[in-house]
Amino acid sequence: MPSFALRGLDVARSHVRRTAFRLLPLALCIPPAAADSAGVSAAPVAASSAAQNSTDHETNMLPAVTVTASGAGAYRPVVGPNLPASTETVTRDQFQNWNVVNTEDVLKYLPNLAVRKRFIGDPNSIIAVRGTSNVQSARGLVYADGLLLSNLLGNNYSFPPRWSMVFPDEIQQVDVIYGPYSALYPGNSLGATVLITTRMPTKFEASADLKAFTQHFDLFGVNRNFSGTESSATVGDRIDKFSFFVGANHLENSSQPLQFATLAQSTTPAKAGDTPVTGAYFYNNQTNAPTAVLGMSTEGIERTIQDQLKVKMQYDFTPTMQGGVTLGYWHQTYNSETLTFLRDTNSNPVYGGRVAINGFEYNIPAAALAPSLGNSENWLYGAWLKTHNATGWNGEAIASYYDVSNNVVRTANAGGPGNGPGLITFGAGTGWKTLDLKTTYTPAQREAGLADHALTFGYHYDNYFLDNETYNTLAWRNGVAGAFANAFRGRTQTQAAYAQDAWRFLARWKFVYGLRYEDWHAYDGFQALGASTVPYPGADQHHLSPKASLSFDATDDLTLHASIARAYRFPTVGELFQGQTNGVSIINNNPNLQPEDDLSKELTAEWAHLNGLFRLSLFQDDVRNTIFSQTDTTVIPNVTNFQNIGKVRSRGVEVSYQGQDVFLHGLDMIASAAYTQSKILANTQNPATVGKYFYRIPLWRANVAGSYRFDARSAFTLAVRYSGRQYNTLTNTDTNPDVFGGTSTYVVADAKFTFRPTKQSEIGVGVDNIFDERYYVFHPYPGRTFYVEGRLHL
């Protein structure tokens, strides 16, 4: 029996929506979390709890639901009755037939969206969508049951969402909202907002899952297999009004080589005293410049071990009031192995100094092949209380605290296998806390299925704090902290109030409009370099962000939308105050940054046809004061840090389709194609970039994934991902992108076969990158990767 969900049902007139309305009484009886063993005899209180549990934190602001009798994709948004934006959804029934190890994998086939995931277990997986690149992490929001997982301490690949606070096995549905069109979310929604809805048990359940994966990788002489495993176990139950879920997860993996030490091919003849070496590789880099590859550097091969614990508890105080708490724990240790390719005449490894290669002199910096290791311990605490009356007023309160209780990075000053001098960076005490209060009003529907106004009012508070201290050490692997090197600290705080109304003023017309007021404050900025201390002055900004969207049901199956929104993305602590100086990188800050000022527009048509939904969207984002790390070429010497770019315009078109039983019974599809042109229109600090394409925004993206259910026990999925031309520099000088250091055009195919021998067991065999495409996001992406999975559940 398939699962069903009820979320803001809009009694519309299309054929698909009529189907949902006819099946509404049945859906009321079946808890959404019981996809594997649902029964119509479930107790009413359990059904009520499950229906609420499937309701995302944007109450009455999410799309209408199509309820079908198909086993795959049992519930799916069709048209957002009160959401002024394009939305795409993936359900548990869909992604359970994909190769999913980490939570972010469930997004891999959604329209005009990509995840920068370099290997299984990569802690730096950033989403990129429309005109937001995969290093602009502060332009994306990720929530799990209303708890904010977005790491808005910075704005690059080092500040990804904390995906690890969600088990893939607990996910019921993921909605992706494109653009900043809802007043309920801050300007960080400029790219997309990801809403993860997890499930709670309706009866006793337990599961155990084991995955193994391996890839063969060959590049610059590194020719070997890299493998890993992931295991998890969960248990949950519902006892009267109380329900709980407990899960544990352990992952171990070794990445393919991620980074190589390179130097421009030398034209300086070797001198006496230079050490003759062999073993270097040569290639033309992303700018077509001849380049020598000396070995694996910095990250090299990253060996990661991750442990995760999740506890959720929920209690029904009354039939319409629930409360709950969440505890998440994630611990990681990693070791980045580096390797030199260079050997002297006695076959000894060479890690630095002046060397002679093919008769030319190269000067290898000491830190070029320096390894690193580290560990991090993270806690998420969350609590919520909400009501869920069918009509009238409802309230919701959600509080969260994310604590980096321990974070240590150790980096050597030089390459080699020894335990010599290095640096230790401590990041404990970093984190964020949030509070969200919201009330909504849902009027009773009239006989034609219409209501005048659906209201939402809310308050938001967040406080982000970051604290890094770096010390010298005589033994980088395990030595104690010695002399002080540097420190960076800072805080930001935002308070916001918002209101939004969905007004059905005519039978076929709806107007959703809202206003968000934000009060942002940055303070306690501080930098210490050796004996030099620099305190930074605070900063304050106050802005209003209006939103509006008009929708028209042109026919029973066709709905048109026009939306416009203003949004402000405020600078993060990292961009303003926090630098980093160690053997791996140097990041400069800029306490004078202005917020990104965006005007977004979208036209969308949604057509229910061929057992699914087609969407066509035209969009344009005009962002003034885009915050990005670039070089100011108008001053001497040039300065590279986070700066405001005058104006960046991104415009494009998306076409997507999701359908069930497409052309033949049992075939479900998700397909999309998108064109995005993102260009720099004004940049006074680096005029050479004006008129160029913005950083890492591909012109084309396309995905297609088809799952065929042979019967109730077996299914096969075949999928293809495509990403077109993009640039790794603001000046678009990377004319040879499909090499290490570039950003590739690629076509990648994936497949998985799933078989359920019994109702309590499942076996999966899959492969990603079937044709072993070698493609890059500066770092190389994984090669052909094989998966095998076994799962037992009660």
560-582 pLDDT, tens digit each: 999 999 999 999 999 998 754 44
Percent of the chain exceeding pLDDT 70 equals: 88
Six-digit token pair at 104? 């972010």
C-alpha closest to that of 258 among 376, 159, 116, 129 = 116
Tell me: the pLDDT tens digits for 347-389? 999 999 999 999 999 999 999 999 999 999 999 999 999 999 9
pLDDT (0 to 100) of residue 56: 36
Nearby residues of 64 by Cβ (< 8 Å), 6 or more positions away: 8, 9, 10, 12, 17, 20, 77, 78, 79, 80, 81
* Radius of gyration of the chain measured on its C-alpha atoms: 27
pLDDT given at position 585: 40
Q: Rounded distance, CA 630 to CA 518, Å? A: 28
| CA–CA gap between residue 511 and residue 707 (Å, rounded) | 37
236 burial type by CB count under 10 A (0-12 exposed, 13-18 middle, 19+ buried): buried
pLDDT at residue 60 is higher than 50: no
| Alpha-carbon span 655 to 636, nearest angstrom | 47
Answer yes or no: is pLDDT of 403 > 70.
yes
Please state, for a pLDDT cut of 90, what percent of the chain lies above it: 79
How many angstroms separate the CA atoms of 694 and 131, rounded? 8
Please state which of the ranges 60-64, 149-153, 560-564, 765-769 shows the lowest mean pLDDT: 60-64
Q: What share of the chain is helix, strand, coil (3-state, %, to 5)?
A: 5, 55, 35
751 sits in the region (left: phi over 0; alpha: psi -120 to 50; else beta) called: beta
Neighbouring residues of 14: CB distance < 8 A, sequence distance ≥ 6: 78, 553, 555, 556, 557, 559, 608
Helix, coil or strand: residue 575? helix
Q: Give the tokens for residue 616.
A: 């066509």
pLDDT at 36: 33
pLDDT tens figures, 256-266:
999 999 999 99
- Residues 728-750 have a mean pLDDT of 96
Whether 38 has a pLDDT exceeding 50, the answer reads no
State the pLDDT confidence band at 531, using cuts at 50, 70 and 90: confident
Predicted confidence (pLDDT) per residue in 221-230, tens digit: 899 999 999 9
- Position 63 pLDDT exceeds 90: no
C-alpha distances out from residue 522 to 527, 574, 592, 732, Å: 15, 11, 11, 34
Model confidence pLDDT, tens digit, residues 648-667: 999 999 999 999 999 999 99
Mean pLDDT over each residue of the chain, to the nearest integer? 87
Tokens of 242: 């109380």
User: Which DSSP letter does residue 636 get?
Assistant: S
Whether 34 shows a pLDDT value over 70: the answer reads: no
d(CA 466, CA 158) in angstroms, rounded, equals 13
- Predicted local confidence at residue 530, as pLDDT: 78
pLDDT at 700: 97
Contact 726, 699 (CB under 8 A): yes
Beta bridge partners of residue 545, listed in sequence order: 516
Residues 6+ apart with CB under 8 A from 694: 131, 133, 648, 650, 678, 679, 680, 727, 730
Q: Provide φ and ψ at 40, rounded to 5°.
A: -70, -10
Answer whether 501's CB lies under 8 Å from 468's CB: no
Neighbour count for residue 257 (Cβ, 10 Å): 25
Please check the confidence at residue 53 and state whether its pLDDT lies above 90: no
DSSP 13-45: -SHHHHHHHHTHHHHHTS-TT-TTT--TT--HH
Four-point Cα dihedral 708, 709, 715, 718, nearest 10: 10
Q: Are 565 and 548 a contacting pair, CB within 8 Å?
A: yes
CA–CA–CA angle 708, 709, 714 (5° rounding): 120
Cβ atoms 724, 714 nearer than 8 A: no
Task: Decide: 298 and 259 in contact? Cβ < 8 Å.
Answer: yes
Can you tell me the distance from the alpha carbon of 175 to that of 196, in angstroms, rounded to the nearest whole number? 7
Q: Tokens 């006989």 label which residue? A: 447
Please report which helix (H) or strand (E) contains residue 93, including its range.
helix 92-95
C-beta neighbour count of 4 within 10 angstroms: 28
Residue 231, classified by CB atoms within 10 Å of its CB into exposed (0-12), middle (13-18) or buried (19+), is middle
Q: Which of 627, 622, 616 is nearest to 590 (CA)?
A: 627
For each of the domains in the chain, give its residue range(s) and CATH number, in order of start. Answer: 15-198 (2.170.130.10), 205-793 (2.40.170.20)
Cα separation, 641 vs 463, whole angstroms: 24
Length of the chain counted residue by residue: 794
pLDDT-based confidence at residue 74 (cuts at 50, 70, 90): very low
631 or 607, higher pLDDT:
607
pLDDT reported for residue 65: 36
Residues in Cβ contact with 201 at an 8 Å cutoff, skipping those fewer than 6 apart: 33, 236, 237, 238, 243, 244, 245
Q: Chain-centre distance of CA 91, in angstroms?
A: 17
Q: How far apart are CA 54 and CA 172, in angstroms?
A: 7
Contact of 261 with 315, CB cutoff 8 Å: no
Answer whether 675's CB lies under 8 Å from 723's CB.
no
Report the first-to-last Cα separation within the chain, whole angstroms: 16
State the Cα–Cα distance between residues 593 and 354, nearest whole angstrom.
41
If you average pLDDT over residues 406-411, what whole number do you get?
95
Q: Mean pLDDT, to the nearest integer, of 702-709? A: 96
Tell me which of 371 and 583 has the higher pLDDT.
371
Q: Using alpha carbons, select from 727, 731, 671 the residue that is nearest to residue 701.
A: 671
Mean pLDDT, range 499-507, rounded to an integer: 93
At 576, list the tokens: 């303003």
pTM: 0.88
Q: Provide the token pair at 508.
A: 């076929």
Predicted confidence band of residue 447 (pLDDT cuts 50, 70, 90):
low
**3-class DSSP state of 47:** helix
- Within 110-204, strands assigned E span 113-116, 126-129, 140-144, 147-148, 171-178, 192-198
